[in-house]
Amino acid sequence: MSYFRQFDNFDPYNGEVQSYPFDLLPAIATRARNLLSKPREQLIQIAETADWIVEEYFHNAREKYFHELLTEGGWELQEVPEEGRTEAAIRKFMENGFPGITNDPGSLFDNAGNTSVVTALKAAISNYSLDGSDLAGTEEYEFFAVLALWLIADCLMWVQLEPKYLALGGNAAIEAMDAVCYAEYLQGTDQFVACIRGQVSKIEDDSGLRAEEEVQKKLKQRISLASKEAANKRHRKSAELRAMARHLFLSGNWQSVRQASKRIFPQLVEHGHRIGFAFSPERGEQTVYEWLLKVSKQNPRAGRRITSPSSR
């Protein structure tokens, strides 16, 4: 699940972590906290940046898949007339969830529905440089330690809801363990440079290139977080929609979070079209539902508006 102000209600350093129903959860939190020493405000920045990187990873995976369809075609386009397979038509077909296709093509590219946030961050983080950003000097392992803590916050939220959400809490706990293990693995190492140096050794054997020159060349190819303005705009659009969802939820009266998400989602889709943001056709409404669950948990006054099953 994405970062959505989890640390507002769960202090990353001092927040209580209960051992029921997952008795390893306090140990995971302790291990993650032992890797961190930055001020709380910087941990929030790290969480927001990690969320941004993951969102970009999913966006790029989707765009790559789209361009493959556009240039190479595929069975997924069987419902689109061949003469009408324009860029706009294919993109609209994807945004509408591949209508008429039985097998879900969404499984063919990484997205929030089939790839964990930990896996996505592992795949993407080494492509970015923090030089010139507010987080210059932050180590990769710190990102995963912070991620473990926000996943613990997710787990604690899920287990306090109805029993049917326990599986989601368990999934968050598993991902938190994955994140903290990877953070410990990365601690004290520069995995990116080590990987490049390993590749360069082979190049040097074959062609006599100097290893250090090749390392520097590879390092320069990393994307600067400070200069990714287009991606920042996309992230701001997502943040704008989250804020809109929060406002609509808090200002309305709902029988349940699910009812709220179903009614609010079309408004967000419409606003998204106006600002150039498209929700994932595979799980757009589910994403909004998860946003609102967190808002409900973080805002008691919103919770009082929702009639629980036991009180109806």
Q: To the nearest whole percent, how much of the chain has pLDDT over 70?
A: 74
pLDDT of residue 206: 52
What integer is the mean pLDDT of 262-269? 92
Find the radius of gyration of the CA atoms of the chain: 22
Residues with Cβ within 8 Å of 52's Cβ and at least 6 positions away in sequence, in order, are 231, 232, 235
How does residue 198 score in pLDDT terms, banded at 50, 70 and 90?
A: low
Please report, for the chain, the start and end positions of each structural domain, with discontinuous segments joined by +: 6-189, 228-311
The answer on pLDDT for 238 being more than 90 is no
How does residue 195 score in pLDDT terms, banded at 50, 70 and 90?
A: low
Each residue of 74-133: pLDDT tens digit? Answer: 777 777 777 777 778 777 777 776 666 555 555 677 888 789 999 999 999 988 888 888
Q: Which helix (H) or strand (E) holds 128?
A: strand 128-129
pLDDT of residue 291: 84
Residues in the chain: 312
The answer on pLDDT for 43 being more than 90 is yes
What integer is the mean pLDDT of 252-257? 86
User: What is d(CA 66, CA 105) in angstroms, rounded to the nearest whole number?
Assistant: 11
The answer on pLDDT for 42 being more than 70 is yes
Q: Do 3 and 47 meet the contact criterion of CB atoms below 8 Å apart?
A: yes
Quote the pTM value.
0.67
pLDDT of residue 312: 41
The answer on pLDDT for 39 being more than 50 is yes
User: What is d(CA 267, CA 263) in angstroms, rounded to the nearest whole number?
Assistant: 8
In Å, what is the CA distance from 24 to each residue of 27, 57, 173? 5, 30, 9
User: What is d(CA 59, CA 274) in angstroms, rounded to the nearest whole number?
Assistant: 18
pLDDT of residue 303: 47
